[in-house]
Amino acid sequence: MAMSTSQSALSVEEQAALVESSKKAAAFQAVKDYLESTFQHVGIGSGSTVVYVVEAIAELGADITSKMSFYPTGEQSRQLILAAGLRLAYIQDLPPDASLDVAFDGADEVDEDLNLIKGGGACLTQEKIVATSAKKFVCVADFRKISPRLGTSWKKGIPIEVLPMAADRVLAELKAMGSLNPRVRSGLPGKAGPIVTDNGMLIIDAPFSPLLLSKDTESGIEGGDGEDGIWTVDALAQRLINIVGVAEIGLFHGKN
């Protein structure tokens, strides 16, 4: 959803306050709608929106939450779970034939088919493991995140987690595929060197021109397999995950 004229007339401080209140409202609504008191296993994603998800869960009180275990997607959410006094558990300790009841997470961009770009916080691999282990995945996103085509509002590129030894080769392959200026994500301000993920890997951000809706028939455009730089979400996801040295990609498939 684009900012309306009245929203864009807001001061920087007012816009920031609007974003925060939208994140909080979305998070509290999501917990109200999708967390059932009978649930036992709950996935907790990463990012600033998820902070409000954990706040909303903690506000339900120990009568409800003490029967639940919470599964993080990285160090940030691990700390959030602990700080809220919730029971921490790890996805590797859940039997492989068992599922989380629900997982809550944020997103960097969401298209109309509910395909997502995730990984702005470099947690995409663990996020995808937790998301795909859940019976229901709830994406909590404020009004800035919705766009007709992925790559429209999130211009930094698709986050791709790579083995450090393969980073240069993956970069070369991405350039050959038509990604514009793919690059290894660098460290936090004042910290030299690349960001190293919770898995000891690097993140490459690979911009592509806005991706098409996942069905060619809906977009009305034939192909979408990278010819002329045009990709469908499905074709690009398949191509990226098959690059040797890529551990996981920040494209999450929606309802298609």
For residue 201, the SS3 value is coil
**Which of 123, 158, 201, 237 lies at the binding interface for ligand 5RP (CB under 6 A)?**
123
**Which of 43, 72, 119, 151 lies at the binding interface for ligand 5RP (CB under 6 A)?**
119
CA angle at 208 for the pair 207 and 212, rounded to the nearest 5°: 140
Q: Is 127 a catalytic residue?
A: yes
Q: Under the criterion CB under 6 A, does residue 157 sit at the interface with ligand 5RP?
A: no
Q: Under the criterion CB under 6 A, does residue 65 sit at the interface with ligand 5RP?
A: no
- Give the integer Cα–Cα distance in Å for 51 and 202: 24
Positive or negative torsion for Cα 155, 232, 230, 160: positive
Q: How would you classify the pairing of strands 183-184 and 202-206?
A: antiparallel
Considering only residues 84 to 113 of the shown chain, the ones binding ligand 5RP according to CB under 6 A are: 105-108
- Give the integer Cα–Cα distance in Å for 125 and 197: 9
Q: Is the CB of 108 or the CB of 173 nearer to ligand 5RP? A: 108
**Which of 48, 79, 181, 256 lies at the binding interface for ligand 5RP (CB under 6 A)?**
48
Catalytic-role residue among 109, 127, 161, 173: 127
Q: Which two tokens stand for residue 25?
A: 């409202």
For residue 247, the SS3 value is strand
Q: Under the criterion CB under 6 A, does residue 46 sit at the interface with ligand 5RP?
A: yes
Segment near ligand 5RP (CB under 6 A); pick from 39-47, 94-102, 165-173, 185-193: 39-47
CB of 25 to ligand 5RP, least distance (A): 13
Q: Under the criterion CB under 6 A, does residue 124 sit at the interface with ligand 5RP?
A: yes
Q: Is the CB of 45 or the CB of 224 nearer to ligand 5RP? A: 45
CB of 14 to ligand 5RP, least distance (A): 19
Which parts of 106-148 are beta strand (E)? Answer: 109-110, 116-117, 137-139
CB of 97 to ligand 5RP, least distance (A): 27
Of 52, 230, 75, the closest CA to residue 138 belongs to: 52
Q: Under the criterion CB under 6 A, does residue 49 sit at the interface with ligand 5RP?
A: yes
Binding-residue total with ligand 5RP (CB under 6 A) = 17
Of 107, 94, 85, the closest CA to residue 43 belongs to: 94
Q: Is the CB of 53 or the CB of 86 nearer to ligand 5RP? A: 53
Helix axes of 75-83 and 48-59: crossing angle, nearest 10 degrees? 30
CA angle at 176 for the pair 171 and 181, rounded to the nearest 5°: 55
Residues catalogued as catalytic: 127
Residues forming contacts to ligand 5RP in the complex (CB under 6 A) are: 45-49, 105-108, 118-124, 127
